[in-house]
Structure 1
């Protein structure tokens, strides 16, 4: 017991010491977060008047920090977006079953489209249950095998077939979500298969959030990159239905939802036509407008052509479905906190002086709409990806206090993880596995846009083992946030937040970035990582 006490004291002392020498300004964190999450910014929705106010504030903070404009003399990169706002949304009706079924918009289902078209009218589309909607030839799995879904509506389950496995072992990596489990993949694959419509069954645990998040995120204006072809290769209608509504649908079709869901977890599952048809219609208003990524840079000395990158998204949901009369989704944690961290890191690096390599700071747009700002940058980079060393993405900082642990999102992929271990140890912290790998955090923020094109980006942060309160308190606080504030108007700034945990994490990000910027190494993906090949190819001849 005495030995454990000594270790705990040393660990806490190490954390305290790390805080004392941290270059991160707590005052900056508080000021930026409070400002950006105030009602004056109306939830920071892209392509709205609130964007202009947000972008201007970020530029002012970057200038004050001492950065230079990061895009050939400009502070911004235009990101062409198209905004699609549905109206006159009919219920989704199902005919041909034991009893007619009508699902109401918002309460029972949400529906929209990626297609840039003024009207969607789906009528009498045959409905097919395709399990998890996965086509993964490298894993010997195809839920669409032998199936023609052209003109049909597919119903799919969220997450992977083995998401309930307690370990990380399994065909789809067990408890950890793969990209095949992500909702974006479900819609992408269904479109590739020619489906007219896609409905994902919402279930809180495998989805990682409650219906309120789906409702707030999938109603109101929806954004997509403004691309040639107007996304007419996508399904006509995409959406979600409540679990209870799915069970009612299957019962009307004379099917057992629970039995078919269990069967869908087994390799070789065959899709099941439900013998009913679906109909839905809605109108769309269409508006095209460029949003902005904001980029500042601290030019390097000896190798200014090489870049270390820090990213955070500035956007949130804007005006959303009201809760107790409040219809502004302020996004104080998600992600005004990450933006505050980005500004604080810029200040710290400018004070330290230029490094050997350049250090870029990028506030990206439209993360909440599907990582659109970072996707556009990665596909149209200001700095060649072959000369982007790597970096750190920040999405929602810890405002609960110091933790004894640090968690890497999607661990086991890149050599950046090796560099963070000694930095965490210097703070008396240990690296622990993700507490909720089934939530698919690796695919839910902007680092993923860079990873897909080969650039290693670290995404991680404080674990749940709080110095004050332990794992139980940390887990309870994390669950409380997801349940009661995440993507809701209740995600508001709190003057009582404890920023010490955020400072500890930002200190790690600062030291990792300086190590990369002062050095000559090129961190790569591990040989087993799916992004290794594209990184090796991009670095050839450099």
Structure 2
């Protein structure tokens, strides 16, 4: 494999000589070996609450064990377990202006065993209109504490399967009910009768650590989410959302970085390697993780999300979300001086990516927590599709990105650089 990272000898004195062997640890062959497991059809898309994500967890745990990581302090193993409430709608009788609405045109978020609502009750009717920023609008809808009837414009038809399954899980019982309706333009009268089965179910992040040699109470986090969308409606005969890029590629990076830093065995600060569950349904895994320690002890978080395809700038490049919120990006760029690799600020700021991945849970607490990605979010052809398969990834370029993350983070891991904190008063 052609080496595209060339560093001056002064760049990484703490790893003197070791960085020269990085190609033996992080390379396309090793990257592909991990991807071929996590994104295989046998794991059926790693959906939350399935046996398939359990298999993925076991694979990551075994990797952590083989690498030689330690469990999170106080944990008996690499699993960081928590519980969520899962709601399954068993009865949905909905009439709009006297017409019965078929189940296929309804999406329900409700954690009450029984719901009966009419136009005489406290229900707010809102619209997802053509041209709306659906992500922003859905974000506001999910934060609402009111009962909502949401009329979805036909232009959002491709989101139907996602909206119909959105919000089936929560870490805390919700008191409001949200009903999405497809193909309904206007509502005068309505009658909503729902019956739901609420079950408390276990989930787990997979977390391992390398204790720091001289600064053990200061943490650097490398993370990614290992869940994806599972199995859905067939598209051209394929029903498995493999999630090779989203986010098996990020988990592959975390496992590769764990192996690299373990072999280096020279980290001043404690390194936490975390793979999160339940990102796709609301970032619940990272939310739980963020509450397990004092965020003031975390000096940096490298969240890695979708690095399997080339960025808009081509090979040997990636972007950092929330670049202007801390000086962490500048530190990484400085550490890559003289190399062929380039980090860029997030070019998709209108999509608010800084708040849409697992880094957000820590950033909201002031941690310099950023996501590193290459995904072309204005035109990523396989995003959240059954076509997000191993064959679409560039393993050589992935390996170079992971190496760049490893080498650019060295001065932070060594305790030489400490990024500025996120100003939480300016988060929006």
Query: Which TM bucket (shorter chain)?
Result: 0.7 to 0.9
Structure 1: where are the runs of 5+ without partners? 1-12, 127-149, 164-176, 205-209, 254-275, 465-474, 533-542
Cα 1:326/1:287, change in 2 over 3 Å: farther
Aligned pairs, how many? 411
1:305 matched residue in structure 2: 217
Picking from 114, 125, 129, the partner of 1:119 is 114
The answer to whether the 8 Å contact 1:309/1:361 transfers is yes
Q: Distance in 1 between matches of 2:82 and 2:238?
A: 30
Is residue 233 of structure 2 the alignment partner of residue 321 of structure 1?
Answer: yes
Picking from 205, 213, 222, the partner of 2:168 is 222
Q: Distance in 1 between matches of 2:379 and 2:217?
A: 43
Q: Deviations over 1:468-515 (max 9, x none)?
A: xxxxxxx9xx7252xxx3223322221x63223322322232124332
Is residue 412 of structure 2 the alignment partner of residue 516 of structure 1?
Answer: yes
1:24 matched residue in structure 2: 26
The answer to whether the 8 Å contact 1:216/1:320 transfers is no
The answer to whether the 8 Å contact 2:111/2:177 transfers is no
| Cα deviation, residue 424, structure 1 | 4.8
Is residue 410 of structure 2 the alignment partner of residue 500 of structure 1?
Answer: no
The answer to whether the 8 Å contact 1:393/1:458 transfers is yes
Picking from 47, 57, 60, the partner of 2:59 is 57
Q: Which one has the largest radius of gyration?
A: 1
Cα 1:434/1:35, change in 2 over 3 Å: same
1:170 matched residue in structure 2: none
2:365 matched residue in structure 1: 453
Structure 2: where are the runs of 5+ without partners? 8-18
Q: Deviations over 1:228-253 (max 9, x none)?
A: xx222xx21243x55xx46x33xxx7
Is residue 81 of structure 2 the alignment partner of residue 78 of structure 1?
Answer: yes
Q: Distance in 2 between matches of 1:348 and 1:452?
A: 29
2:296 matched residue in structure 1: 386
2:383 matched residue in structure 1: 486
SS in 1 for 2:47: coil
Cα 1:104/1:88, change in 2 over 3 Å: same
SS in 2 for 1:112: strand
| Cα deviation, residue 338, structure 1 | 1.1
1:154 matched residue in structure 2: 126
Q: Deviations over 1:369-406 (max 9, x none)?
A: 10000011112x1x421211112001211334852643
1:117-516 equivalences under 5 Å are 117-124=112-119, 150-155=122-127, 181=136, 183-188=138-143, 190-191=144-145, 195-199=146-150, 201=152, 211-216=157-162, 218-219=164-165, 222-225=168-171, 227=172, 230-232=173-175, 235-239=176-180, 241=181, 245=183, 248-249=185-186, 276-379=188-291, 381=292, 383-400=293-310, 403=315, 405-462=317-374, 479-481=379-381, 485-494=382-391, 497-516=393-412
Cα 1:289/1:200, change in 2 over 3 Å: same
Cα 1:432/1:56, change in 2 over 3 Å: closer
Q: Distance in 1 between matches of 2:262 and 2:242?
A: 29
Picking from 37, 40, 43, the partner of 2:39 is 37
TM-score (norm 2): 0.84
